[in-house]
Amino acid sequence: MRSPHPRLPADARQADRGDGLTAADTIAVARDVALEGGYNLRDLGGYPTRDGRRVARGRLFRSAALHALTDADIAAIDALGIRLVVDLRTNRERGLKPSRGAWATWSRDYDTSTADLHRAIADPALTLDTVSDAMRATYRALPEEQADAYAALVRRIAADDLPLLFHCAVGKDRTGVAAALILDLLGVPRATVVADYLLTNRVTEQAAAHAHESLRRHNDTLQRAMVAPVARAEASYLDAMFAAVETRYGSVERYVVDRLGMSGDAIDAIRAALLVGR
């Protein structure tokens, strides 16, 4: 069982939010849900926003896949009162590793994702630099590729289908982008958003093992070192995503309006559902 107060990545501990506090001041609170057969399940609540409010605890959770949950894990998630699970995985991923648990689930009918790096990993000219470049390209593409899924996710939040849990395979890329967009929309400072994303690095070993197992099916000579940039959360990946959104739409809020089709009233409903205080 992991400690509820794990050691933060160095860059998260040192990230200054711009108000005299470090991201660690607000991120180093108990938020993990310890699991035996799953990992990377944590509460997105507790973070302060720029306008003096705070993201509510116990309403929105992010996770890796739920296919290996034990009965005790299912009971632990049941105790969260989850009303809806949003599964961001492809049809193939869901078919290979169907989730356990009887929660109401939303998923999208789609077959391929840029977050599935099998093609890049299979390239015989692959280097550590090209893998990192591919990851940044993936993050630039995810807000467009996953727009239908992200629109469904924020619509369900606006409808107060909470507590809600959303996940992909490792809980880092598709899930990490969704979490970052939501936290930014709520007004959480960018350094704290990045620090939350980097918390996935506490489970890099599990994520790397998952990625290596999957990717070796396409390249049986693949060395574990080449998987590290795929499995690891890097601030530059999230920076690339935000830069792409802001270049195209101007802001995350405009992306949510113009690309995800949410009205101003719906955004107000999301904030009312997920923010407390003031």
pLDDT tens-digit readout, 79-129: 999 999 999 999 988 999 999 999 999 999 998 887 655 555 656 666 777
How far apart are the C-alpha atoms of 123 and 101, rounded to whole Å? 37
Q: Is the pLDDT of residue 219 over 70?
A: no
Q: Is the pLDDT of residue 259 over 60?
A: yes
Candidate from 20-29, 230-239, 254-263 with smallest mean pLDDT: 20-29
How far apart are the C-alpha atoms of 174 and 67, rounded to whole Å? 17
Q: Is the pLDDT of residue 262 over 50?
A: yes
Question: Of 14, 69, 70, 81, which Cα lies nearest the Cα of 43?
Answer: 81
Q: What is the pTM of this model?
A: 0.85
Q: For residues 73 and 225, which has the higher predicted lDDT (pLDDT)?
A: 73
Structure tokens at 11: 């860059």
Confirm if 173 and 142 have CB atoms less than 8 A apart. yes
Confirm if 273 and 157 have CB atoms less than 8 A apart. yes
Q: Is the pLDDT of residue 181 over 90?
A: yes
